[in-house]
């Protein structure tokens, strides 16, 4: 079983390492030219306006998605946590739908909806799509954190004379800060790579995965491989960051 | 003399009313938001499935035409069934590969288990398109697999077995979706208290019996959740089949997508997607009940 | 009485940390044997070794005179009741209870019959279709016990099974365990950190301290004849008085202590000038109305009212040493107050003499 695990880790990483590899080395007729190592694609990347623009678009979408999804996600998590209404189960089910359904359905239902209300497709429609898609995860992470807090925490804040806002700002927020950060980072990571929903909602702009998709028909240039490598480094960094925050916050609880 | 008390009472009542209104307005906004961005789009796409198209115009009139088309056009049902089988195959391969890994991590990997799990999770967030592209070059005619096999002397000519067919789609989807089955399975296996496993040995179980009667059934919900995730994502994927599947990449998701692209028949695409939606919702509800049941 | 299980010179270390240091004891048939120790003293390790979950670093475990150190868990004729019950969450009560028989391929009808029988013993015959999560703590406890006794093991190992229950339920379960053990006639090895529980339940108790057994014996032995000052203080309270022998008679000695001269009714191998520690329980000190030949005079420091009894803390006339005296509260004729001077007599016949030990 250990061997199988090793093989699977290898299988999952082979495509990724190959990409990094091809960004440094040239191949000719299927053979690797070992002397061709160069950083050149990375420096040339600066001149690839299209790729850079798509990267910027992706980052824009990612950042706005994070803000929207964390704010709305927190709001719903807090509502779900404090409300006694029976509707909340229904609400949770709805929030989870876009995450559980095939992305194609979320994508095309929003496409049809935007057409019906005459909203032209743009990066902002992509943001809406991404926000809806990641909302379930953000909601769940924040809710899990809220549920570990004792009700007496907020009650004691009110008891000591805090206003609603003060209780939120000085007591609740510092306690759930980490979960908000984790949720935000996760939302950003997912948004950065989202393809299936984006394909339906993107207008004339392109995000980075869509650019890759378009470039794939003609084959990847070394600059594309270089951009992939950079993004891979960024996403691994983000995931590792999330993991370290989680493990550190868990240690805090046990000690 | 003014009597202040009734005035105060009035004021308090007003405050209460305002407060009540304020909280309910937030509730209202949140519901409107969710309903307008999730439910209404779903509804509008369901209703589209009952419209028809005339050239480039969409005729907003109720009709069952699209569903009739689906039921009579043999190719659609055939493709649908073929895609379901494809997704099932992907799911079973993922279970076959993923379960032992999750089991190994949860029971034997000791202090390394979280690091290895993290290594398995990271690829999940790494560019989906890139993974497909690279799988294409690995599986291809002059790709890595053929080269290695040739080098080992297993084959003389490169195999075409790997690209532009169903196998390629299956392999690629497995590589992309495998972490999704490992994570929930690992979590539910890891949550089994050590003393429950000890209790099974204590009552006379040999290692395999402990697995069969205790560990496997208790860990099952995680496996089911992971499998369903894999199944639904494989079922709805249209990019992977298109990019590595060649002519057999004509899956159900691909048909839906093409109706929104070149074919420009949104209502028909919506109808096909509605069928996918219904199947998915049934599976989700069924799974939900299954896992809820085993929780209590 | 025949013994069925023996642990001989057992030690266990995890790396550098020593958990058990050269422990030996025997378990008799149908015995309720308790291992008593504070948390972290290694008491769980002992029964996990017997059960087969942990291997001893050195020493042997004998079952019916055969060494079973290497026998796998599932072959050992012992069953364990785990601390937090460890019921299988995926099986209902009757499947949980019948599990051990099912694994041994016993006929299904036979299992059903047995399960019903055992559930009746533990008083849960109406709960057979419930899931463990739907039961209260006490009920889960009974299921765990039923699951252990159904295989008719030679020994049942109970790893602090009452630890998670509240005081009231704990009392009930103690009674219940004692009854069951008498009914089914299987040896119980029971682990607890609660002295009262151990005294109430056990035929014999082994007290674990500092990775070793301090003393093994019946509850009465341990209470009235503690071997060490640790043991004397471990069960209830004990006054320890440092003395010096000043005179020796036929079957008694006279000692000088901080409370004055005492006559101790023990024949003991001590010569004049030897020092010793004398231990006496608070209830073995009597309050007298008048001074007598063997009484000492003390000053009351404070009175602790404990309901049916009261404890008096009294101070010696000559030094800063204190004694604890237990007195029946209903004794209204003597309303003691702080500062009163009273005469007390020590019932030295039931006290214990510890040789040359420093009072800890």
What CATH number is attached to the domain comprising C268?
Answer: 2.40.50.140
Size of interface B-C (CB pairs under 8 A): 65
Shared-domain flag, residues C140 and C274 = no
Among residues A252, A198, C109, the alpha carbon closest in space to that of B257 is found at: A198
In whole angstroms, how far apart are CA B96 and each of B52, B100, B102, B178, C29? 44, 7, 11, 10, 50
pLDDT digit of tens for each residue in chain C (360 aa)? 588 899 999 999 888 888 888 889 999 988 999 999 887 788 889 989 998 888 899 999 999 888 888 888 888 889 999 888 889 988 899 999 999 898 888 899 999 999 999 998 888 889 989 998 889 888 998 899 999 989 888 899 998 888 778 888 888 889 888 888 888 888 999 999 888 889 999 999 999 988 888 899 999 888 888 888 888 888 878 888 888 888 888 788 888 888 888 888 877 777 788 888 888 888 888 888 788 877 888 888 888 887 778 888 888 877 777 888 887 766 555 677 788 888 888 888 788 888 755 544
Shared-domain flag, residues A8 and A50 = no
Shared-domain flag, residues C29 and C64 = yes
The shortest CB-CB distance from B296 to any of C53, C74, C133 is to C133
pLDDT of A23 reads 77
pLDDT of A127 reads 94
Shared-domain flag, residues A2 and A64 = no
Number of compact structural domains in chain A = 2
pTM, two decimals, is 0.80
What tokens does C210 get? 């500092």
Shared-domain flag, residues A32 and A80 = no
pLDDT of A30 reads 58
Look at residue B296 and tell me whether its pLDDT is greater than 50: no
**Which 127-156 residues of chain A touch chain B by CB within 8 A?**
128, 132
- Distance from C-alpha of A131 to C-alpha of A140, rounded to nearest angstrom: 14
* Distance between B74 CA and the closest CA of chain A, angstroms: 23
Contact A193 B243 (CB under 8 A): no
Shared-domain flag, residues A21 and A105 = no
Coil, helix or strand for C102?
A: helix
- C213, C233, C253 — which closes off a domain? C233
Residues of C in contact with B196 (CB under 8 A): 86-89
Coil, helix or strand for C71?
A: coil
- Distance from C-alpha of B11 to C-alpha of B276, rounded to nearest angstrom: 56
- Distance from C-alpha of B101 to C-alpha of B109, rounded to nearest angstrom: 10
Strands C295-305 and C341-346: what pairing? antiparallel
**Which 51-110 residues of chain B touch chain A by CB within 8 A?**
97-98, 100-101, 103-105, 108-109
Shared-domain flag, residues C188 and C273 = no
- C188, C218, C233 — which closes off a domain? C233
The pLDDT tens digits for B195-226 are 899 999 988 888 889 999 999 998 898 999 89
Shared-domain flag, residues C219 and C246 = no
- Distance from C-alpha of C126 to C-alpha of C116, rounded to nearest angstrom: 9
What tokens does B109 get? 């990997």
Mean pLDDT of chain B: 83
Number of compact structural domains in chain C = 2
* Distance between C208 CA and the closest CA of chain B, angstroms: 24
**Which 3-22 residues of chain A touch chain B by CB within 8 A?**
4-5, 8-9, 11-16, 18-19
pLDDT of C356 reads 57
What tokens does A63 get? 């950042």
The shortest CB-CB distance from B205 to any of C80, C90, C103 is to C103
Cβ of residue B292 closer than 8 Å to a chain C Cβ: no
- C185, C206, C233 — which closes off a domain? C233
pLDDT of B142 reads 64
Look at residue A255 and tell me whether its pLDDT is greater than 50: no
Cβ of residue B273 closer than 8 Å to a chain A Cβ: yes
Cβ of residue B233 closer than 8 Å to a chain A Cβ: yes
Look at residue B2 and tell me whether its pLDDT is greater than 60: no
**Ordered DSSP codes for C7-49:** EEEEEEEETTEEEEEEEEEEEETT-EEEEE--TTSSHHHHHHH
What is the residue extent of each domain of chain B? 68-295
Shared-domain flag, residues A71 and A33 = no
With residues binned 3-state (H G I as helix, E B as strand, rest as coil), the percentages for chain B, rounded to 5, are 80, 0, 20
* Cβ-count burial A203-236 (b if 16+ within 10 Å, e if not): eebbbbbbbbbebbeeebebbbbbbbbebbeebb
* Enclosing domain of residue C59: 3-233
* Distance between C102 CA and the closest CA of chain B, angstroms: 9
Contact B257 A231 (CB under 8 A): no
DSSP structure class, residue C165: S
Half-sphere exposure of B141 (CA within 13 A, CB side): 2
- Distance from C-alpha of A97 to C-alpha of A126, rounded to nearest angstrom: 18
What CATH number is attached to the domain comprising A185?
Answer: 1.10.3720.10
pLDDT of B118 reads 86
From A32-41, A215-224, B220-229, the region with the lowest mean pLDDT: A32-41
pLDDT of C351 reads 81
pLDDT of C360 reads 43
Shared-domain flag, residues C228 and C241 = no
- Distance from C-alpha of C213 to C-alpha of C8, rounded to nearest angstrom: 13
- Distance from C-alpha of C360 to C-alpha of C354, rounded to nearest angstrom: 12
Shared-domain flag, residues A95 and A6 = no
pLDDT of A173 reads 86
Contact B213 C99 (CB under 8 A): yes
Shared-domain flag, residues C44 and C183 = yes
* Cβ-count burial C176-196 (b if 16+ within 10 Å, e if not): bbeebbeeeebbbbbbbbbbe
ipTM of the complex: 0.83
Cβ of residue A100 closer than 8 Å to a chain B Cβ: yes
Shared-domain flag, residues C209 and C271 = no
pLDDT of B20 reads 64
- Contacting chains of B (3 CB pairs or more, <8 Å) are A, C
Shared-domain flag, residues A106 and A226 = yes
In whole angstroms, how far apart are CA C201 and each of C165, C196, C232? 16, 9, 20
- Distance from C-alpha of B82 to C-alpha of B251, rounded to nearest angstrom: 8
How many Cβ atoms are within 10 Å of A72's Cβ, its own excluded? 20
Cβ of residue B131 closer than 8 Å to a chain A Cβ: yes
From A79-88, A151-160, B5-14, B202-211, the region with the lowest mean pLDDT: B5-14
Burial of C29 (0-12, 13-18, 19+ CB in 10 A): middle
- Contacting chains of C (3 CB pairs or more, <8 Å) are B
> Higher pLDDT residue, A165 or C117?
C117
Coil, helix or strand for C300?
A: strand
Chains A and B touch (3+ CB pairs under 8 A): yes
What tokens does A179 get? 């979960």
Orientation of helix B74-108 relative to helix B113-121, angle to 10°? 160
Residues of A in contact with B125 (CB under 8 A): 189-190, 193, 235, 238-239
The pLDDT tens digits for A68-120 are 999 989 988 888 888 777 778 888 888 888 888 899 999 989 988 888 888 88
What angle (nearest 5°) sits at the alpha carbon of residue B157, between those of residues B156 and B161? 120
* Enclosing domain of residue A183: 46-254
Look at residue A134 and tell me whether its pLDDT is greater than 90: yes
In whole angstroms, how far apart are CA A205 and each of A123, A124, A202, B261? 7, 10, 6, 17
pLDDT of A60 reads 93
Shared-domain flag, residues C284 and C177 = no
Contact A199 B144 (CB under 8 A): no
Instruction: Please report the beta strands in chain C, taking only residues with DSSP state E, as ranges in sequence order.
Output: 3-14, 17-28, 32-36, 58-63, 66-67, 78-81, 155-158, 187-192, 204-209, 212-217, 239-248, 253-257, 260-264, 275-280, 285-288, 295-305, 309-316, 322-328, 341-346, 352-355
Local confidence band at B230 (pLDDT 50, 70, 90 cut-offs) = very high
Contact B276 A238 (CB under 8 A): no
Cβ of residue A24 closer than 8 Å to a chain B Cβ: no
Contact A97 B133 (CB under 8 A): no
Long-range (24+ apart) CB contacts under 8 A made by C162-166 are C162/C192, C162/C194, C162/C197, C163/C83, C163/C192, C163/C193, C164/C83, C164/C84, C164/C137, C165/C137, C165/C138, C165/C141
From A30-34, A244-248, B5-9, B127-131, the region with the lowest mean pLDDT: A30-34
Shared-domain flag, residues C243 and C214 = no
Shared-domain flag, residues A8 and A119 = no
pLDDT of B22 reads 65
Shared-domain flag, residues C216 and C114 = yes
Look at residue B35 and tell me whether its pLDDT is greater than 90: no
The shortest CB-CB distance from A104 to any of B132, B238, B243 is to B238
Shared-domain flag, residues C265 and C122 = no
Contact between C201 and C161 under an 8 Å Cβ cutoff? The reply is no
Shared-domain flag, residues A17 and A102 = no
pLDDT of A27 reads 67
**pLDDT above 70: percentage of residues in chain A:** 93
Contact between C280 and C351 under an 8 Å Cβ cutoff? The reply is yes
Cβ of residue C132 closer than 8 Å to a chain B Cβ: no
Cβ of residue B267 closer than 8 Å to a chain A Cβ: no
Cβ of residue C271 closer than 8 Å to a chain B Cβ: no
Contact between A209 and A198 under an 8 Å Cβ cutoff? The reply is yes
SS (H, E, C) chain A: CHHHHHHHHHHHHHHHHHHHHHHHCEEECCEEEHHHCCCHHHHHHHHCHHHHHHHHHHHHHHHHHHHHHHHHHHHHHHHHHHCCCCHHHHHHHHHHHHHHCCHHHHHHHHHHHHHHCCCCCCHHHHHHHHHHHHHHHHHHHHHHHHHHCCHHHHHHHHHCCCCHHHHHHHHHHHHHHHHHHHHHHHHHHHHHHCCHHHHHHCCCCCCHHHHHHHHHCCCCCHHHHHHHHHHHHHHHHHHHHHHHHHHHHHHHHHC
Residues of B in contact with A102 (CB under 8 A): 232-233, 235-237, 253, 276, 280
What tokens does A243 get? 């993991």
Contact between C49 and C56 under an 8 Å Cβ cutoff? The reply is yes
- Structural domain contains residue C360: no
Chains C and A touch (3+ CB pairs under 8 A): no
Local confidence band at A36 (pLDDT 50, 70, 90 cut-offs) = low
pLDDT of C359 reads 47
Per CATH, the architecture of B68-295 is what? Orthogonal Bundle (1.10)
Which chain B residue lies closest to A191 (C-alpha atoms)? B125
Contact A216 B129 (CB under 8 A): yes
Residues of C in contact with B213 (CB under 8 A): 88, 99, 102-103
């Amino acid at each position: 079983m250990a061997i199988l695990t090793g093989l699977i880790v290898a299988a999952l990483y082979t495509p990724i390492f190959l990409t990094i590899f091809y960004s440094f080395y040239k191949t000719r007729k299927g053979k690797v030219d070992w002397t061709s190592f160069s950083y050149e694609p990375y420096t040339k990347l600066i001149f690839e306006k299209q790729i850079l623009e798509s990267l910027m678009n992706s980052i824009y979408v990612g950042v706005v998605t994070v803000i929207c999804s964390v704010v709305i996600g927190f709001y719903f998590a807090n509502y779900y946590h404090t409300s006694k209404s029976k509707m909340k189960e229904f609400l949770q089910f709805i929030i989870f739908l876009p995450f559980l359904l095939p992305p194609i359905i979320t994508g095309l239902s929003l496409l049809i909806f935007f057409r019906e209300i005459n909203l032209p497709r743009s990066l902002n429609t992509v943001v809406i799509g991404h926000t809806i898609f990641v909302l379930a995860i953000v909601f769940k992470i924040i809710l899990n954190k809220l549920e570990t807090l004792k009700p007496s925490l907020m009650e004691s804040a009110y008891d000591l004379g805090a206003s609603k806002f003060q209780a939120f700002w000085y007591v609740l927020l510092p306690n759930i800060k980490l979960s908000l950060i984790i949720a935000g980072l996760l939302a950003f990571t997912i948004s950065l790579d989202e393809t299936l929903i984006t394909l339906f909602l993107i207008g004339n702009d392109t995000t980075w995965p869509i650019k890759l998709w378009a470039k794939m028909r003609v084959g990847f240039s070394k600059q594309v491989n270089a951009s992939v490598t950079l993004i891979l480094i960024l996403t691994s960094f983000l995931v590792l960051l999330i993991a370290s925050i989680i493990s550190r916050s868990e240690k805090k609880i046990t000690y | 003399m003014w009597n202040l008390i009734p005035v105060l009472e009035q004021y308090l009542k007003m405050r209460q009313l305002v407060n009540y209104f304020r909280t309910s307005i937030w509730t209202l906004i949140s519901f409107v938001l969710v309903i307008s961005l999730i439910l209404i789009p779903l509804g509008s796409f369901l209703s589209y499935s009952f419209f028809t198209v005339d050239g480039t115009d969409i005729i907003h009139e109720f009709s069952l035409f699209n569903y009739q088309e689906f039921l009579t056009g043999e190719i659609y049902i055939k493709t649908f069934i073929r895609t379901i089988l494809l997704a099932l195959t992907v799911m079973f391969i993922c279970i076959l590969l993923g379960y032992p890994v999750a089991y190994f991590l949860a029971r034997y990997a000791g202090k390394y288990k979280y690091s290895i799990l993290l290594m398995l999770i990271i690829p999940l967030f790494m560019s989906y398109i890139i993974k497909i592209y690279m799988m294409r070059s690995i599986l291809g005619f002059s790709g890595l697999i053929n080269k290695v096999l040739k080098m080992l002397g297993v084959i003389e000519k490169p195999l075409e077995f790997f690209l532009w067919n169903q196998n390629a789609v299956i392999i690629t989807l497995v590589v992309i979706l495998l972490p999704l089955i490992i994570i929930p399975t690992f979590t539910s296996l890891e949550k089994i208290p050590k003393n429950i496993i000890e209790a099974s040995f204590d009552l006379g179980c040999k290692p395999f019996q402990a697995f069969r009667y205790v560990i496997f059934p208790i860990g099952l919900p995680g496996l089911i959740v992971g499998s369903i995730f894999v199944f639904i994502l494989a079922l709805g994927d249209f990019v992977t089949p298109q990019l590595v599947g060649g002519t057999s990449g004509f899956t159900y998701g691909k048909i839906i997508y093409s109706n929104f692209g070149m074919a420009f028949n949104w209502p028909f695409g919506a109808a096909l997607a509605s069928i996918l939606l219904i199947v998915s919702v049934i599976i989700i509800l069924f799974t939900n009940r299954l896992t809820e049941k085993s929780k209590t | 009485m025949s013994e069925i299980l023996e642990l001989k010179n057992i030690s266990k270390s995890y790396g550098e940390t020593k958990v058990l240091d050269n422990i030996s004891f025997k378990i008799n048939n149908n015995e309720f044997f308790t291992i008593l120790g504070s948390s972290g003293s290694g008491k769980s390790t002992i029964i996990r070794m017997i059960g087969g979950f942990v291997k001893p670093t050195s020493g042997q475990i004998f079952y019916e005179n055969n060494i079973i150190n290497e026998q796998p868990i599932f072959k050992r004729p012992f069953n364990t009741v785990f601390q937090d019950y460890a019921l299988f969450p995926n099986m209902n009560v009757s499947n949980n209870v019948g599990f051990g028989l099912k694994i041994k391929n016993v006929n299904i009808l036979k299992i059903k019959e047995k399960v019903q029988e055992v559930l009746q013993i533990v008083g849960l015959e109406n709960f057979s279709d419930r899931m463990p999560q739907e039961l209260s703590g006490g009920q889960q406890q009974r299921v765990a016990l039923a699951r252990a006794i159904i295989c008719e093991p030679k020994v049942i190992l109970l790893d602090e099974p009452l630890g998670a229950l509240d005081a009231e339920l704990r009392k009930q379960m103690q009674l219940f365990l004692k009854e069951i053990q008498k009914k089914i006639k299987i040896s119980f090895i029971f682990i607890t950190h609660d002295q009262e529980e151990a005294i109430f339940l056990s035929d014999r108790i082994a007290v674990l301290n500092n990775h070793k057994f301090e003393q093994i014996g019946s509850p009465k032995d341990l209470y009235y004849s503690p071997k060490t000052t640790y043991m004397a203080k471990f069960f209830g309270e004990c006054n320890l008085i440092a003395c010096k022998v000043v005179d020796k008679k036929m079957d008694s000695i006279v000692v000088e202590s901080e409370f004055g001269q005492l006559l101790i009714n023990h024949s003991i191998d001590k010569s004049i000038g030897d020092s010793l520690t004398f231990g006496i329980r608070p209830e073995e000190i009597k309050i007298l109305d008048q001074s007598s030949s063997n009484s000492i005079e003390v000053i009351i420091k404070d009175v602790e009212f404990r309901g049916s009894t009261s404890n008096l803390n009294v101070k010696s006339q000559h030094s800063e040493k204190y004694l604890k005296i237990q007195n029946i509260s209903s004794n209204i004729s003597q309303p003691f107050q702080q500062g009163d001077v009273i005469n007390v007599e020590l019932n030295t016949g039931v006290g214990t003499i510890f040789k040359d030990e420093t009072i800890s």
